[in-house]
Amino acid sequence: MEKNICVCVTGAAGYIASWLVKKLLDKGYTVHATLRNLENPSKVGLLKALPHADTRLVLFGADIYKAEEFEPAIRGCQFVFHVATPLLHNTHSTKYKDTTEAAIEGVKSILGSCIRSKTVERLIYTGSVVATSPLKEDGSSFKDLIDESCWTPLHHSFSYSSFIDQEYISSKTQSEKEVLSYCNMEEGGLEVVSLACALVGGDTLLSYQPTSVGVIISQLTGEEDHYRRLKLLQEMLGSVPLIHIDDVCEAHIFCMEQPSMAGRFLCACTYPTIAEMAKHFTNKYPEIQVAKRFSEGPETGIDCQSTKLRDMGFKYNYDFKRILDDSVECSKRMAKGKKKKPQHLKAQEQLSNRAQRKTAAEQRKPPCKTELSTHSAAEIRKQPAAEKQKERTKPNRAQQTTAQTEPSSQKQNTHQKQQRDAMNCLKEIRPDAAVTPIS
């Protein structure tokens, strides 16, 4: 059902934003979507291919490093979803020294555009749980629980973080504080909602596997850098907060559709530990062994006592197991898409397969009538007639051993099938995997 409401989504070609645009169009909203580069055919094509895009989607070019470019997209909208965030610093920029400065100035500029528009009622900011660490200020230990009052101590150095991770943590923390400072405006002013979103899993509209999905399934794939980020989350938060892509987008829309709403909200369905995630993967996918070093850690983590979103009526539809399983299925689908080969390689593979099938068929043929023994034809001709007759009636060696070897052969075949099943499952989520399961 079409609604007479226009909304803006920044960074619309990203993992969360593209799914959000799709849901908004499905619900009847008109969407102004921003992209850094309107000349990128894959990103533009992704959005234009969405249902109802031809009638209710308008694309705008806008870059966080040139935040004034967002104003035309925001003009005329009633709600703005600020999802875009700089992940890598633009080294060509002389205006900002790092992603933190760019993110903060981007927030300020977008908020200014919202106020100047005279039409925007509420801005919904996509925050991150990396800004909500329950570590005490001195970094010595965790608080008893995690809630909206928690802020990551930026002076603390995390052992599992890279320089890029540290920049991301800083930019998300400081830009969220900036956006929330606008909540103190007089009545009737702009409302600001910040959703501190958990690690997002599930499916995707993108043509590649989102980083967060790779992080979630890293215990199965053995991808070291992704697993390091999983360890970083547990180091920072005492657990690994998770949410499904569909739930996180529904939460954004829920915050828009409320009559009035403002403030900070944790947006996570579940808070497992790395050990609990490994246990699920081990039980669900026994054919792939999760290495011990990818499952070590505390059995219980820091609990979350916040129910602010739920108290307002929001419901999470995807639980812990579904988030993990849908992430694995997404990765399998991505891997299958990468298996397409050039024509000349396909032709070579077909010829090789035919040769293998021919060889296998020949091996399955019953012994030829002239192949009566292991002796050569010349030796047979030298034998006396009686011995020739005896040789003709002598059972074939393969026939003699068939009954004896059948049970062990069946066991071998069963073992080989189990190995193939394990490798097929592993190859689906990690095409470059070695020929033996992870151990």
Full DSSP string of 205-259: SSSS--HHHHHHTHHHH--HHHHHHHHHHHHHHSS--EEEHHHHHHHHHHHHHSS
**Three-class SS state of 423:** helix
Quote the distance between the C-alpha of residue 4 and its chain's center.
Answer: 34
- Active-site residues: which are they? 172
Ranges assigned E (strand) in 319-402: none
Q: What is the DSSP letter of 261?
A: -
| CA-to-CA dists, residue 132 to 152, 343, 378, angstroms | 5, 51, 87
How far apart (Å, rounded) are the C-alpha atoms in residues 344 and 433?
24
How far apart (Å, rounded) are the C-alpha atoms in residues 420 and 168?
41
Place of tokens 């967002």: 70
Listed in sequence order, the residues at least 6 apart from 309 whose beta carbon sits closer than 8 Å to its beta carbon are 251, 254, 265, 266, 267
**Three-class SS state of 125:** strand
Q: What is the DSSP letter of 270?
A: B
Place of tokens 């009559």: 259
Encoded tokens for 60: 């705008």
How far apart (Å, rounded) are the C-alpha atoms in residues 240 and 276?
10
